[in-house]
Structure 1
Amino acid sequence: MVMPIPVFDHKELLTLNTQELPIYENALAPHFPGVNVQPLFLDPSAGTWALRVIFDPGVTLPCHYHTGTVHLFTLSGKWNYVEYPNQPQTAGSYLFEPGGSVHTFSVPADNTEPTDTVMVVQGANINFDADGNYVNLMDASSIMQIIDHLVKERGLEPAKYIRPAQAEYTV
C-alpha cells in the first residue's frame, strides 16, 4: 500500500489552548445572561459548532429543539435538564443527544461554582419561551455573528477560533 497524499497542505496543527483564549462573559445577553462563551470551532457550511460554555449558578436556558446531534462534556459544576431532574450531569460527565431532542438546560442556583462545559453541536438549537413561542435560532452562523458583534461592541481583539475555509471552485 502506498502512503496517501494529504488533501490539504498542513503547515501546523489547528489547535487552541482554552487557558490562553478569552472567555466572552454574558456573550448571549440580553436573552441568556450568565452564559460565558469561548468559541472553539465554527463551521457554518457544515453546520458544526464547538464551544466552551461556562454557566453561572442559577442559569436556565429556554426550552430548545436540536436539529442535529450534540456531544456535551461537563468539566466542572453541575447541571440537569428540567425534564430529567434525576439525571444531573456533574464533572466528568459526557452526554450524547440525538437530533430531535427537546429539553430545558438548568444550572442549580445553589451551585458553589460555575458549570464549565464543552459542546460539539451539529445543526441548530431552536429556542422557545415558556409558552412555546419561538425565541430564536442558534447555529454556527448566528454564533459567529454574535461573537463578532460582541468583540466590536466591547472594543476587543478579534476572536480566535478554528473556521474551515470557505468552499470555492478548483479553477
Structure 2
Amino acid sequence: MIPTPAVAHDELLTLNTHDLPMYKDALPGVPGVDAQPLFLDPHQGVWVLRAVFHPGVVLPLHYHTGTVHLFTLSGSWHYAESPDQPQTAGSYLYEPGGSIHQFMVPADATEPAVAVMVVHGANVNFDHDGNYLGIMDASDIMNMFDALIKERGMEPARYIRPAPAEYTAGAK
C-alpha cells in the first residue's frame, strides 16, 4: 500500500542556479563574496548557499555551532589552519559542530572558488585578536539579502523557505 504524503505539494521545490541572480559582494564587510540563497530555514537553523569566493577573499575566523557540508564546484580554497589541505573542484568537506577556522582563497588564485554549502546552526565570527564580531545564521542571512535587495532596488530573492510551525487546530 502506498503511504499518504505527510505534506501535500503539487510541484517539486526546485531551483536552477543558472536562472537565479548571483548577488555580487553579498557579504557585508567582506568584498569579493557573491552568493545565491537556495534554502533558508530560520526555524530549524539551516541555510544553503551557492557562493563565489574571488581570489584574495579571507573570511573572519568563525566557530560553527552546527555541522557544515561544503561542496567545492570549481576553483580552490583552504583554511588558514590547514594550508596543506586545499579544497579543489570536486571536493566534499564535512565540518563537525564546534569547529573553528578561517576560510581563504589564495590571492594568486587563477579563478574564483565556487561552492555550495549546507550549514546547520550559526557561524560565530571573531577578529584576529579573538574579539566577537557577530553571528551569521539563517535569520541573519535572510535579513542580509532583504537589505541588499532593497538597497540595490532589485526584485525579491527566490529561494526555498519552509513554512513556520502552526497549530493543527485553532489556538486557545
The TM-score with structure 2 as length reference comes to 0.97
Where does the alignment leave 5 or more consecutive residues of structure 1 unmatched?
none
Tell me what 1:136 maps to: 134
Q: 1:64 aligns with which of 62, 83, 87?
A: 62
Tell me what 1:28 maps to: 27
- Using the TM superposition, give the Cα deviation of residue 118 of structure 1 relative to its aligned residue in structure 2, in angstroms: 0.2
Tell me what 1:9 maps to: 8
2-structure distance, mates of 1:149, 1:170: 33
Tell me what 1:112 maps to: 110
1-structure distance, mates of 2:110, 2:18: 21
The amino acid of 1:110's aligned partner reads D
1:44 aligns with 2:42: yes
1:84 aligns with 2:82: yes
The amino acid of 2:13's aligned partner reads L
Tell me what 2:143 maps to: 145
Where does the alignment leave 5 or more consecutive residues of structure 2 unmatched?
none
For residues 9-45 of structure 1, give each alpha carbon's deviation from its aligned partner in whole angstroms, at most 9, with x where no partner exists: 110000000001001110112x211111100000000
The TM-score with structure 1 as length reference comes to 0.98
2-structure distance, mates of 1:34, 1:136: 19
The number of equivalent residue pairs is 169
Q: 2:156 aligns with which of 139, 155, 158?
A: 158
2-structure distance, mates of 1:95, 1:28: 22
1-structure distance, mates of 2:87, 2:75: 8
Tell me what 1:73 maps to: 71
TM superposition outliers: structure 1 runs of 4+ over 4 Å: none
For residues 54-96 of structure 1, give each alpha carbon's deviation from its aligned partner in whole angstroms, at most 9, with x where no partner exists: 0010000011000000000000110000000100000000000
- Find the residue that maps to 1:135 and give its secondary structure: strand
The amino acid of 2:123's aligned partner reads N
Between the two proteins, what is the percent identity of the paired residues? 67
2-structure distance, mates of 1:53, 1:151: 17
